[in-house]
Structures are given as structure tokens and as C-alpha cells.
Amino acid sequence: MKKWSGIGVTLAVVMGILSGCGNAQTTNNAAAQNTDPTATTEVAAADPANAGGKLDVGYPTQPVTLDAQISSNTAVKDISREIYEQLVTLDENAQVTPMLAESYEVSDDRLTYTFKLRQGVKFHNGKELKAEDAVASLNRWIQISTPGKTNFQGAVAEQTDDYTVVLKLKTPFLLTLQLLADPIPSASIYPKEVVEAAGEDGIKDYIGTGPFKLAEWKQDQYIHLEKYDDYSPRTEASSGAGGKKEALVDDLYFHFVTDESTRLAGIASGEYDIALNISVDNSEQISGNPDLQEFLSPGGLIGYFYNSNEGLFQNEKARQAVNAALNDDEILLSAFRDERFFTKTSSLVLEQFPAWYSEAGQENYNQNDPEKAKKLLQEAGYNGEEIVIYTTRDYIDQYNVAVVLQQQLEAIGVKVKLDVYDWATLQEKLAGSGWDIYPMSYAFRPTFYQYSFWGGAAGFLKSDKLDGLLQDIRVAESPEAARSAIDGVQEFVWTEVPFSQIGQSKQITALSKNVAGFQNILGPIFFNVTNSEQ
């Protein structure tokens, strides 16, 4: 048996040791708390002497639910992770570390995961966390969540005593702990009775063990969380979403403000202490204001996805032609204005995560070769038919890269039509026919296996070769053992071109100068954050 306890548990069986973190900010008790390895802005450490008061967040959208197990919606994740906790979580370097589990063991055949629960942890209703709660929650997550249904078929959680949970797998899975620690969709632990009362539309009572509890949800206006006085923190030093967590403000408000200019005006006036999802076009309003801080964190992969199930782009050479034509420097600068706001890379995973980073196939990235593109189009049998690009103005980066793609394709003689829809309509349209390419961004993930498009998203290339490579990763004993398959997936992406990655974006969050301790670990974290202006 392999056993882990305490903090700093590395992903030796999941991600490998994360070293050589490039632009990572170092952290100590007196230093910056911008601990995400890809973030580039320093934020002061929280001073407990400034605890109390409230934190007002200008948030761009309202969650559809606060059931963290059933939704991949970013708003659900960002708010619910303050309320609920998992058996394991991710530290500041995205390494798995225990949370509700005091420790865990992995059997030598990698089929059995045994979790010892911390004792004395209380739910927000005053009930002590027991194994029966974790078992009910895990089994529900396995049955209803996308990662559960996809990766844990036949798995079951059982209890052996009041504080011991055993997860039994049918087949070994390299990313078991990573997915249990992932905040989206989260393997959150609820009281057993909450799980049993859940309907098809989710749980009815939002009760967790986290540092904040739900006080009020006023539809279309705000969600109010309040400090949970009986919260049971870990004793180790805080690290990302792991270690000691504290509600350092008494009240946390998420105000739903869909208009970015309103969020900007609100944080400039002091109405909000934090404003999320600021566009690069408005970054100077943040960086140029001495009362504000600009925080950069990973945005995610952005690229062009081809409809390989119908039309011209069923032909591999047609996909290769578009990929050969791309001038990614021009595209990225058009979309993000400044090199601070993007990373130009052919790898699906950032270099700060070496266990999954790969340069295989990089010679086919950012080719900017119009003549090669024209030759490939001719070989693909292109005869002047109209190419339809679907996009949306709701996410301006996606729209901007669509416009530049249209221009670059027209420059090599391709007839292009740009169809622009609101976000909800675009999702519906992509499920049907009539489109050829769509630009899309996917939220930052520390492993490429966790991107949702491998599951057969609309139009996505179906390939036995790709399925085999992903299966090789699933059953590998370690990322090192999976290296050939990891490189194989990268090579596949750049030779058979199911999509063309442009790069990785960064996300801007605006903070009041009075905010300290803010972090972004696969999304913003609001515990361990203080607001000195009360």
C-alpha cells in the first residue's frame, strides 16, 4: 500500500512532481499570495489582524444551481467551493493534498483507495461528518457527474467504519485522485440525508463543511455567504485550496453583474472589492488606478475546432490547410492586445506542468505558410464553396479570433461567412449541422485529459487511434509511464488536426488595494482573503 497524509502530497501517481515552474511566484508568510504557477501579479498576504467585515464581489453571471456535483458551470464552481469540501483537494501547485481525509492509501494494484476521515468535522447543520456521508456523496458523484460516469464505471464507495471510506475501482485509472480533487464538477461531500433527498434537478439543501455557509440567494441579484463559526480547519499551512482555510470576512457577497462596464465602475467606486472577468480592452483602467490591483491567472486553451463529421473538413488535408495558413502571432495580438495576456504554445498543457507538457508536433504550430495552405486545399478538393464560421460576441476573445481567421482564410482564396450568435444559441447551433469551424476557449486544466472535448463534442473528430492513446494514459502507472501516449496525443493533434490550438489565454481580475490573500487555483478562491477597509 502507498500511503499519504498531511500536506504537500505530490501527484506521483497522478501528475508527477511539478518542478521548474517557470514564472511561478514563490510564497512565504510575508510574501505574495498569488500562488498559481502561471499567474504573473503579486497580491499581499492576508493579515489576520484585518479579519472581519465583508467582501463584495462583482460576478459576471448567476449559477444555475449550487449542486457542485452535477454542473460544469464556472459560476457553480466558484461559489460552491466556498461551501463544500472534498476528500482531497489541490494545493498551490495543483498537487493533490488531503482535505476532509486525514490521510489516504492506494493499493499496489491501484484498484483500492482507502480514505481516513478527519474526526470532529461538522456540516453547516451541526451534524458531524461520518463515512456514511462521504460514501453516499461519492456514489452519487460517480453515477451522475460527467467525470464519474466517464471514468469510474463500475466503481463503488463503501465504509468500513465510521471514519473510513474505501473506493473500489474496476480498472486502474491514472487520474483517480486528480478528478476527486478537481473543483469542476466537484466530488463534494454532502450529508447523507441531503444526497438521499436529491431529485433530478439536484440537491435541495446546500449544506457543506466549508468555511462559508449559504445565508441567502436572491435570484438575479446576489448570493450571500456567511462565516461558519464551527468550521474545522486543517492545521497545516495554507496552500492553494489545501491546508488551513479560514473565512477571514464575516460576509461574502456575489453580486450578479453581467455588464462589464458596470463591474468596472463598481470596483472603481468602491462598491465592489473584487471584479471578475475583465477584458483586455479595459485592463488599463485597472493597472492605471492606484486604488486597484490587477491579478492575472490562467484563462485557458483557445483554438479553432473543425466539423470533421460533415462538409469539407471531413478531409484531413482541409484541416491541415487551415492550420498551415494560421498566423498565430497576429491572431493572439488581435484578440488579447498584449503579450502579457496570453502564452504562445503548441502544448495542450502549460510548461509549468512538465509531467503533461509536450512539444510533439510543434513544427505544425504557427506555420503562417499561405502557399502550403493553398496546395493542401487543392489536394482536399476545395472548389470555392462557402466556409461557415460560428462565433459569439458574448466572449469577445472568441469573436476576435473568428474575425482574424476569416481574414486569413480569405487571403488564401477561401470564401468565408461569419455567423454570430448569442452564447446560448451558439451552443444549440453547434449541436446541429451547417457549420464548418468554431473558435472556442476551454477553461485552464492542469492535464489535457480533463478537457471536455475528448468526449465527442459537436463535430469533434472520432478516431480509434486517439481513443487508444487516451486509454493508454488511463491505465498507465504514472505520467512517466504514459509519456509515449502523452506525446502521441500531441502528435495526433498537430498531424490529424481535430482542432488548431492558437495558444493559452490569461484572465484578468480586478482587486481593491485593500484586498489581500486572493488566489486563483482553477478559479478564484475567497477564503483566506481579507478586506482591510471596513
Question: Is beta strand 251-256 parallel, antiparallel or unpaired with respect to 386-392?
Answer: unpaired
Q: Are residues 224 and 364 in the same domain?
A: no
pLDDT score for 442:
83
Q: Are residues 239 and 327 in the same domain?
A: no
In a domain, residue 164? The reply is yes
Q: Are residues 239 and 306 in the same domain?
A: no
Under 8 Å between Cβ of 187 and 208: no
Q: Are residues 347 and 464 in the same domain?
A: yes
pLDDT score for 164:
98
pLDDT score for 8:
36
Under 8 Å between Cβ of 489 and 469: yes
In a domain, residue 446? The reply is yes
How far apart (Å, rounded) are the C-alpha atoms in residues 534 and 517? 16
In a domain, residue 34? The reply is no
In a domain, residue 280? The reply is no
| Number of domains the chain contains | 2
CATH for 447: 3.10.105.10
In a domain, residue 347? The reply is yes
In a domain, residue 227? The reply is yes
- Number of CB atoms found within 10 A of residue 464's CB: 7
Q: Are residues 324 and 224 in the same domain?
A: no
pLDDT score for 146:
87
DSSP 147-213: HHHHH-TT-EEEEEETTEEEEE-SS--TTHHHHHH-BTTB-----HHHHHH-BTTB-SS---SSSEE
Q: Are residues 203 and 328 in the same domain?
A: no
In a domain, residue 75? The reply is yes
Spell out the long-range contacts of 125-128 with Cβ–Cβ below 8 A and sequence spacing 24 or more. 125/191, 125/205, 125/207, 126/230, 127/191
Number of alpha carbons in the 13 Å side-chain half-sphere of residue 290? 0
Look up residue 472 and give its three cell numbers: 493508454
Q: Are residues 94 and 226 in the same domain?
A: yes
pLDDT score for 11:
33
Q: Are residues 306 and 237 in the same domain?
A: no
pLDDT score for 534:
64
pLDDT digits over 179-193, tens only?
999 998 999 999 999
DSSP 93-132: TS-EEESSEEEEEE-TTS-EEEEEEPTT-B-TTSPBP-HH
Look up residue 38 and give its three cell numbers: 502561471
Q: Are residues 338 and 453 in the same domain?
A: yes
Three-class DSSP category at 426: helix
Q: Are residues 228 and 104 in the same domain?
A: yes
In a domain, residue 140? The reply is yes
Q: Tell me the mean pLDDT per 10 residues along the chain, length 534.
A: 46 29 28 39 82 95 93 90 97 91 96 98 98 98 92 96 98 94 94 96 96 97 98 94 96 94 95 93 91 91 92 96 96 90 92 90 97 97 96 86 96 96 86 91 83 70 89 92 96 95 93 95 93 83
Domain that includes residue 323, residue range:
299-505
Query: Considering only CA atoms, which of 208, 77, 79 is closest in space to residue 147?
Result: 77
How far apart (Å, rounded) are the C-alpha atoms in residues 5 and 13? 15
CATH for 234: 3.40.190.10
| Domain final residue, candidates 245, 270, 289 | 245
Q: Are residues 94 and 202 in the same domain?
A: yes
DSSP 319-365: HHHHHHH--HHHHHHHHHSSGGGEE--SSSS-TT-TTT---TTGGGS
Q: Are residues 304 and 238 in the same domain?
A: no
